Amino acid sequence: MRAVRLHAKWDPRPEFKLGPKDIEGKLTWLGSKVWRYPEVRVEEVPEPRIEKPTEIIIKVKACGICGSDVHMAQTDEEGYILYPGLTGFPVTLGHEFSGVVVEAGPEAINRRTNKRFEIGEPVCAEEMLWCGHCRPCAEGFPNHCENLNELGFNVDGAFAEYVKVDAKYAWSLRELEGVYEGDRLFLAGSLVEPTSVAYNAVIVRGGGIRPGDNVVILGGGPIGLAAVAILKHAGASKVILSEPSEVRRNLAKELGADHVIDPTKENFVEAVLDYTNGLGAKLFLEATGVPQLVWPQIEEVIWRARGINATVAIVARADAKIPLTGEVFQVRRAQIVGSQGHSGHGTFPRVISLMASGMDMTKIISKTVSMEEIPEYIKRLQTDKSLVKVTMLNE
């Protein structure tokens, strides 16, 4: 079968030391310290085969390009990949996907029925392959699994004709049938994973909101946009999004934002205070990846707003120091939480139910492309910010 594969050279930087979970030449938890000269190409590879009784084979219908796919293929001036996390190459990329079950092991259970997966079941799957038996997993925190593998990062992913996953990571999309016709069901299904990242950030980690609260989202990428939709559905009074790109601001409005701010032209602090009648926001989502730029403004809103008890959830990854003023968080009774992942806490099934009840995330798909076009678009997304989500649609 055909698959989009990433190859890179294992060439650790001088200061890099092999970590306890790293495997020389194959796998590291610190991608950008090791992998050099990435190359993405469509190749012929063997079809996946069921090896364990709990596994299923999925015929891939749709798979979106994630920012991390872009960063795995993008390099600094020395040729090292920008993506800092768990990586094992060569690998088939792609983790925001949906498809149809074509083969199921005898113990591959579908949670929709509590029976073996039916052939033809439409599904999506988690990307984080949590182990289920380490301490964080056993305590209910699979997003922090100590034995994590990641689909499309160190395990073959879904920019392919077929992908194999253990049934415990798969979720039925039956609920979307009748709501999304034809390919749209699979396009919606491919957005469950990134939407779950936003849900985990604003609801699970951020603690959610009470209907009538105000929220501020900084950054209008797929995660920020999904947060807009989720929080509007959660009953936010004012959803305010700050984002330089006009395309993304307009999408935010379509997804339910009450106000959008262009931070390059408007004063973010004054705009938020104005739109909320001086009350400020209960929840802020840092989804820009440049916290050092936006943090002083978040603090100023928290400081000057009349509302107290704000939570700032950090979801964008950034290896940057944040200039935090403790006094602001003390006096205004505010808090900060970090958010990682999308698994556990009932997140995937709730996102699917939200989509079934009309939260249509397919609006963020700018373009559907063929598998052959994926390498080109992974490159194009490095610079073209008019594209939000680009999604492969297989025949």
| Residues near 170 by beta carbon (within 8 Å), at least 6 away in sequence | 56, 58, 101, 110, 117, 123, 124, 125, 126
Q: How far is the CB of 32 from Zn ion (least distance, A)?
A: 16
- Count of CA atoms in the C-beta half-sphere (13 A) of 84: 5
Which range in 112-120, 128-136, 266-274, 335-343 contacts Zn ion by CB under 5 A? Answer: 128-136
Q: Minimum Å distance from CB 95 to Zn ion?
A: 6
Torsion of CA 3, 363, 125, 5, to 10 degrees: 20
CB of 152 to Zn ion, least distance (A): 8
Residues 232-261 interacting with Zn ion (rule: CB under 5 A): none
| Closest CA relative to residue 152, chosen from 339, 392, 395 | 392
Binding residues for Zn ion restricted to 56-85, rule: CB under 5 A: 66, 68
- The residue type of 317 is R
Contact 223/287 with Cβ under 8 angstroms? yes
**E-only strand ranges, 160-210:** 162-166, 170-172
Figure out which of the listed residues 82, 131, 247, 279 binds Zn ion, where binding follows CB under 5 A: 131
Residue 194 amino acid letter: P
In the annotation, is 345 catalytic? Answer: no
Which of 32, 68, 196, 339 is catalytic? The answer is: 68
Least spacing, CB of residue 92 vs Zn ion, in Å:
15
Half-sphere CA count of 32, side-chain side, radius 13 A? 14
- What is the C-alpha end-to-end distance of the chain, expressed in Å? 13
Name 378's Cβ contacts closer than 8 Å, sequence gap at least 6.
40, 65, 69, 70, 73, 93
Residue 137 in contact with Zn ion, rule: CB under 5 A = yes
134 is in an annotated binding site: yes
Residue 359 binds to Zn ion (criterion: CB under 5 A): no
Tell me the number of residues near Zn ion by CB under 5 A.
8
Say if residue 66 carries a ligand binding annotation.
yes
238, two tokens: 């004012």
Please identify which residue in 129, 145, 260, 351 interacts with Zn ion, judged by CB under 5 A. Answer: 145
- Strand 87-88 and strand 27-28: the pairing is antiparallel
C-beta of 195: minimal distance to Zn ion in Å? 11
- Is 283:310 a contact under the CB 8 Å cutoff? yes
SS3 199: helix
Nearer to Zn ion, 63 or 302 (CB): 63
Catalytic one among 32, 71, 98, 242?
Answer: 71
248 is in an annotated binding site: yes
Among the listed ranges 53-61, 143-151, 179-187, 322-330, the one in contact with Zn ion (CB under 5 A) is 143-151
Which part of the chain contacts Zn ion (CB under 5 A), choosing from 131-139, 167-175, 351-359, 379-387? Answer: 131-139
- The DSSP line for 299-312 is HHHHHH-S----EE
Least distance CB 136 / Zn ion (angstroms): 6
Q: Does 155 bind Zn ion (CB under 5 A)?
A: no
The residue within the footprint of Zn ion, chosen from 100, 134, 247, 322 (CB under 5 A), is 134
Q: How far is the CB of 170 from Zn ion (least distance, A)?
A: 17
Report how far residue 360's alpha carbon sits from residue 227's, in angstroms, rounded to the nearest whole number.
13
CA 215 to chain centre: 20
314: closest CA among 331, 348, 337, 293?
A: 337
Choose the stretch contacting Zn ion; rule: CB under 5 A; options: 82-90, 135-143, 233-241, 281-289.
135-143
Cβ closer to Zn ion: 130 or 171? 130
Say whether 96 counts as a known binding-site residue. yes
Q: Residue 47 annotated as binding?
A: no
Active site residue 144: no
137 marked as part of a ligand binding site: yes
| Complex with Zn ion: residue 112 or 367, whichever CB lies closer | 367
Please name every residue paired with 337 in a beta bridge, in sequence order, or none if there are none.
Answer: 313
Enzyme catalytic residues:
68, 71
| Binding site, annotated residues | 66, 95-96, 131, 134, 137, 145, 193, 223, 243, 248
| Binding site, annotated residues for Zn(2+) | 66, 95-96, 131, 134, 137, 145, 193
User: Which residues in this chain contact Zn ion in the complex, by CB under 5 A?
Assistant: 66, 68, 130-131, 134, 137, 145, 147
